[in-house]
Structure 1
Amino acid sequence: WDQWYPEAARITSLMGAEILFYPTAIGWATSQDPATNTEQYGAWQTIQRSHAVANGVHVVSVNRVGMEQNGAMQFWGGSFVSNPFGSILYQGTHDQEEIKVIDIDLSKTDHYRTHWPFLRDRRIDSYDPITKRYVDES
């Protein structure tokens, strides 16, 4: 669930991470509309790729495949690896178990972070509201 929130990715990157790993078990109810399923998968991949770009890190998102709950829940698979520009380096299938070894060139991490210096240019003086559950809270 934490993979949907930007704060954990940012903090981990600030602590020196060059790769974020997101092991996942996410899917959809088979009774849902297929178009909704496609949109959900797209949103999941987009948020992970956004973490890569915003933090200058590679992202490895691993998701399971298969059915549970007597066929009512289908895990959508689609594991992928993204570089710090959000480009997909590897895209897994949606219905088959796979084991892949993907080479990631960490020597280019500084290049990405220098080209798009999001970590350097943060406006930390304006972040106080994010420490509250709701901004209007005292």
Structure 2
Amino acid sequence: GSSYFCDPRGNFLAMASEDKDELVTAEMNLDLIEEVRRTWQFFRDRRPDTYENMVKQLP
């Protein structure tokens, strides 16, 4: 239960109920992903391959 679709900005597009069996569908604008990446460049510039060295330094 409680399945949902949301866009890259976190806006809910469709939600299922918590107490019923449902099939949830929604139209999604996949071009919005690239638009959000250009505006909020965290995902564009992230380097997950460098994270390992940072966490090694944690206690």
Q: What interval of TM-score do these two structures reach, taking the shorter chain for normalisation?
A: 0.7 to 0.9
Q: Which residue of 2 aligns with 1:35?
A: none
Q: Which residue of 2 aligns with 1:79?
A: 3
Higher strand proportion: 1
User: How much does 1:123 deviate?
Assistant: 6.7
**Residues 1:92 and 1:123: Cα distance change in structure 2 (over 3 Å):** same
**Residue pair 2:4, 2:24 contacting (<8 A) in 1 also:** no
**What code does the residue aligned with 1:85 have?**
R
CA RMSD of aligned residues (A): 2.3
User: Gaps (5+ residues) in structure 1?
Assistant: 1-76
Give identity over the alignment, percent. 30
**What code does the residue aligned with 1:135 have?**
L
Question: TM-score, with normalisation over the residues of structure 2?
Answer: 0.73
Q: Which residue of 2 aligns with 1:116?
A: 40
User: How much does 1:115 deviate?
Assistant: 1.1
**Residue pair 2:16, 2:22 contacting (<8 A) in 1 also:** yes
User: How much does 1:93 deviate?
Assistant: 0.3
Q: Measure, in 1, the Cα distance between the counterparts of 2:34 and 2:44.
A: 12
Match of 1:129 among 36, 54, 58: 54
User: Gaps (5+ residues) in structure 2?
Assistant: none
